[in-house]
Amino acid sequence: MVMAKASKVDGNGGTASKRAVFVTSEKGGVGKSVTARALIDQLRTEGVRVAAYDADGSVGGLVRVLGIRDAHGNLVRDQDPVTGVDYYNVGLPRFCGRFRGLG
């Protein structure tokens, strides 16, 4: 499952809209990460602030392609979901209630 939370600022500096988008399927290998990546890339290109989360802790495909990397090309442990992709795992206690990025 991939989650993205997006908001766009209107001309007055206020938030015009907020949306939560979930790309999900019970089956693996059906293109969830590819679909999410295309959506995130397009929205960010249009200037929409997108907080992206990869909730597939076993694979983490979205983090691998859109995650922030250090100078050596390694994925940064603490990802900023607005500029990269953060992990979100409701199965782990340390993640409960954590959904940051757009306030």
pLDDT of residue 47: 87
Indicate the helix (H) or strand (E) that contains 77: none
Name the residue ranges covered by the structural domains of the chain.
2-95
Indicate the helix (H) or strand (E) that contains 15: strand 15-23
In the block, residue with structure tokens 């059906």: 30
Indicate the helix (H) or strand (E) that contains 2: strand 2-9
Assessment of whether the complete model's pTM goes beyond 0.75? no
Residue by residue, pLDDT tens for the chain (103 residues) are 455 555 565 555 555 667 788 888 888 888 888 999 999 999 899 888 888 888 876 667 888 888 899 999 998 888 888 888 887 766 665 544 444 544 4
Secondary structure tally for the chain: helices H, strands E = 2, 4
C-alpha to C-alpha distance for 53 and 86, rounded to whole angstroms: 5
pLDDT of residue 11: 58
